[in-house]
Amino acid sequence: MATKQDVKVLGWSASPFVARVRIALNLKGIEYEFLNEDLGRKSDLLLKSNPVYKKVPVLIHGEKPVCESLLIVQYIDEVWAASGLPILPADAYDRAVARFWAAYIDDKLPNQAPVLLGEADEPTKAEATQHMFAALQQLEEVFEKCSEGKSFFGGNTIGYVDITLGSYLGWMKAMEKIAGIKLLDEEKIPQLVKWAERFCSSDAVKEVIPQVDQFVEFSKVLQAAFKAAASPSN
Amino acid sequence: MAIENEVKLIGIWSSGFVTRVMIALNLKGVEYEFLPEDLSSKSELLLKSNPVYKQVPVLIHGGKSVCESLVIVQYIDQVWASSGPCILPADPYDRASVRFWAAYVHDKLTSQIRVLILKEDEKSKAEAEEQLFTALLLLEEAFVKCSKGKSFFGGDSIDLVDITLGSCINWLKAMEIITGTKFLDKTKTPRLAEWAERFCSAEAAKEVLPEAEKLVEYIKFLRAGNRAAAVSSSK
């Protein structure tokens, strides 16, 4: 059995990508040590563990690093297959569908973050908001189809798509406050709004995603992180 | 073949993303029907099978559609697990490593190749070339580590990284012909250059990799279309 020292997560509490890893570990009941990174000054451990991207999250399991949030989630699901419930479905086609929608979410949502969590003029914010709405509208339909009347995209329990989308909920609530927009609108996306409440209050998630005020405090750091990520020298 | 086992692939001859799927199907010895698509006039089948992106490749297996090249290749590896070599290794850590490098190639190489093809200004092209060279140098190191002295990233057999990077080879050769810059350079990345020759002559790949000379013509056609679109959108 993995001891707390065997499993470390290098991360930063306001990152949705880090949240994914912590949620997956919680779902599997795995204890881990959380090493908080200072984004302004990356640790030697981070630079050594993720020399290619120099980014969080990194999972270090028995001293071997695993990088890229969705790859880490799949790793956790495979290594601790006997613990907790499966994160990805067993069936090949269902698995492909889950991977497709996770890739869609990562394709559509994070691009809007630098605008909606930062400073931008009204037309730019309006365009980013439109893109977010379009994606969320699509995901409302996906939820209806995938959940088959159950609580999560994954069915009765949190699955891969739930983790991928749910990890952005902190940012989405922060976007609502910072940009003054309503994303989680009960009238437009009623099922997703209810899903979001269920997700955020579940045991595996509730301690992981910070409160909105913390995100707003973090927004200046986030803006710097976005600018750094956008620069080609990274 | 029974309907529930029928395999069809919607694609175009030139797309590296489509090539990935064809190589995976070949590795597994899966027979399939290739449905060539005209992207300027998309078929009902494509629009119905990939309503979100309306793009190729789309694999249709037993009437169900699977989209996104790397998702499709992993699907093929899982469904036909008992046929041919493993495209992903069994060990979770090794799988994570293979997925990492495949994603790296997908993120870093294909986007820079696209810039080199479509951008005309010297600054964008110079930046793209620099990023490409940096990525290839890193992949040279990755190859040494992953191959452990054997022929492919996957060792004795072709794996997901081989497939993802291999589908870029002839695009790089086409850009070499057009620009005169050598990308797969024996003096800079000797192992990768040798690997590329082995990959291009591998059974699963040799019939399906689009020829570099044909890609050169195709790139000229894409660039002309791009210029026309730029002119008409600036009116």
The tens digit of pLDDT for each residue in A109-130 reads: 999 988 998 888 999 999 999 9
Asked if residue B67 lies in contact with residue B17, where contact means CB atoms within 8 angstroms, the answer is no
CA–CA separation, B204 vs B147, rounded Å?
Answer: 19
Residue A233 — pLDDT band, cuts 50, 70, 90? very low
The chain B residue lying nearest A64, using CA atoms, is B93
CA–CA separation, B210 vs B203, rounded Å?
Answer: 14
Asked if residue A39 lies in contact with residue A221, where contact means CB atoms within 8 angstroms, the answer is yes
Q: What pLDDT, on a 0 to 100 scale, did the predictor assign at position A185? A: 96
Among candidates B79, B99, B131 on the partner chain, residue whose Cβ is nearest the Cβ of A71: B99
User: Measured between alpha carbons, how far apart are the two ends of chain B, in Å?
Assistant: 53
Q: Do B96 and A72 touch (CB under 8 A)?
A: yes
Q: What pLDDT, on a 0 to 100 scale, did the predictor assign at position B130? A: 94
Q: What pLDDT, on a 0 to 100 scale, did the predictor assign at position B230? A: 77
Among candidates B79, B100, B138 on the partner chain, residue whose Cβ is nearest the Cβ of A67: B100
pLDDT at A234 over 50: no
Chain B residues with beta carbon closer than 8 angstroms to that of A75: 92-93, 95-96
CA–CA separation, B69 vs B83, rounded Å?
Answer: 20
Instruction: Kindly report the pTM of this predicted structure.
Output: 0.94
Chain A residues with beta carbon closer than 8 angstroms to that of B138: 52
Asked if residue A234 lies in contact with residue A54, where contact means CB atoms within 8 angstroms, the answer is yes
Place of tokens 């070339």: B129
- pLDDT over 70 percentage in chain A: 95
> Measured between CA atoms, how close is B94 to chain A, in angstroms?
10
Size of interface A-B (CB pairs under 8 A): 54
CA–CA separation, B173 vs B19, rounded Å?
Answer: 16
Q: Which residues contact B235 (CB under 8 A, 6 or more apart)?
A: none
Interface residue ranges in chain B relative to chain A, Cβ cutoff 8 Å: 52, 61, 64, 66-68, 71-72, 74-75, 78-79, 92-93, 95-96, 99-100, 103-104, 127, 131, 138
DSSP string spanning B28-91?
TT---EEEE--TTS--HHHHHH-TTT--S-EEEETTEEEESHHHHHHHHHHHTTTSSS-SS-SS
Asked if residue B152 lies in contact with residue B143, where contact means CB atoms within 8 angstroms, the answer is no
Residue A231 — pLDDT band, cuts 50, 70, 90? low
CA–CA separation, A83 vs A134, rounded Å?
Answer: 37
The chain B residue lying nearest A79, using CA atoms, is B92
Q: Do A99 and B71 touch (CB under 8 A)?
A: yes
Residue A210 — pLDDT band, cuts 50, 70, 90? confident
Q: Do B103 and A71 touch (CB under 8 A)?
A: yes
Residue B2 — pLDDT band, cuts 50, 70, 90? low
Strand, coil or helix: A84:
coil
Q: What is the DSSP letter of B101?
A: H
> Measured between CA atoms, how close is B206 to chain A, in angstroms?
27
Mean pLDDT along residues A206-211: 89
Q: Do A52 and B138 touch (CB under 8 A)?
A: yes
Q: What pLDDT, on a 0 to 100 scale, did the predictor assign at position A223? A: 75
Q: What pLDDT, on a 0 to 100 scale, did the predictor assign at position B4? A: 65
Kindly provide the b/e burial profile for residues A183-195, where b requires at least 16 CB atoms within 10 angstroms of the residue's own CB.
bbeeeebeebbeb
Chain B residues with beta carbon closer than 8 angstroms to that of A104: 52
Interface residue ranges in chain A relative to chain B, Cβ cutoff 8 Å: 52, 61, 64, 66-68, 71-72, 74-75, 78-79, 92-93, 95-96, 99-100, 103-104, 138, 232
The chain B residue lying nearest A74, using CA atoms, is B96
CA–CA separation, B55 vs B46, rounded Å?
Answer: 7
User: Measured between alpha carbons, how far apart are the two ends of chain A, in Å?
Assistant: 37
Asked if residue A88 lies in contact with residue A95, where contact means CB atoms within 8 angstroms, the answer is yes
Q: Do A71 and B93 touch (CB under 8 A)?
A: no
Q: Do A67 and B131 touch (CB under 8 A)?
A: no
User: Comparing C-alpha atoms, which of A131, A219, A128 is closest to residue A170?
Assistant: A219
DSSP string spanning B172-225?
HHHHHHHH---SS-TTTSHHHHHHHHHHHTSHHHHTTSPPHHHHHHHHHHHHHH
Q: What is the DSSP letter of B107?
A: I
Place of tokens 């040279």: B140
Chain A residues with beta carbon closer than 8 angstroms to that of B96: 66, 71-72, 74-75
DSSP string spanning A17-54?
HHHHHHHHHHHTT---EEEE--TTS--HHHHHH-TTT-
Asked if residue A224 lies in contact with residue A39, where contact means CB atoms within 8 angstroms, the answer is yes
Asked if residue A128 lies in contact with residue A120, where contact means CB atoms within 8 angstroms, the answer is yes
Q: Do B74 and A96 touch (CB under 8 A)?
A: yes
pLDDT at B232 over 90: no
pLDDT single digits (tens) A10-66: 999 889 999 999 999 999 999 999 999 987 789 999 999 999 999 999 999 999 999
Q: Which amino acid appears at position B105 of this protein?
A: V
